[in-house]
Amino acid sequence: MVKSEFNSQFADVFVGSRPARAVVHLKTVDIPSSGRLLIGGQTAIIDAEITLVDARSGAPIVSYPGNSATRYIPGGVIAPIARVAIGDEGRRLLERYMQQYREWLLRSAQS
């Protein structure tokens, strides 16, 4: 899932003659279960570090220390029903994180 989201967010960004590879280190992924949501609202979180490395030498090109992406998920008795209606929270959280990374990377490239 991380690889497919990375590819969809960056296919138009990573173009050029220097091959690079992204090394993703997931530090935290916490998506509350339906049981936890019954107790009350919870915050889903993803935290990672992403380093772009030269594909040939393995030397780091740029490293993103990462900002956590969070998403509040309402809880209570209707939580299991709401979860079905909302869809895949993990994918939404990953999309948000990758969008933050994309914005950071594009800002870094301009400076």
Report how far Cα 14 is from the mean position of its chain's Cα atoms: 18
* Domain, as residue range, for 87: 2-104
**Residue at 58 is within a domain:** yes
CA atoms of 20 and 52, how far apart (whole Å): 6
Predicted structure pTM score: 0.69
The CATH number covering residue 21 comes to 3.30.160.150
pLDDT per residue as tens digits for the range 8-67: 777 777 777 888 888 888 888 888 877 777 777 788 888 889 898 998 999 998 888 877
Q: Could you give the residue ranges of the DSSP H alpha helices within 1-111?
A: 2-10, 34-39, 79-86, 89-110
**Residue at 62 is within a domain:** yes
Is the Cβ–Cβ distance between 20 and 53 less than 8 Å?
yes
76 or 25, higher pLDDT = 25
Split into its structural domains, the chain has a count of: 1
39 or 104, higher pLDDT = 104
CA atoms of 51 and 101, how far apart (whole Å): 11
The whole-number pLDDT of residue 83 equals: 62
Place of tokens 């998920």: 73
**Residue at 110 is within a domain:** no
**Residue at 111 is within a domain:** no
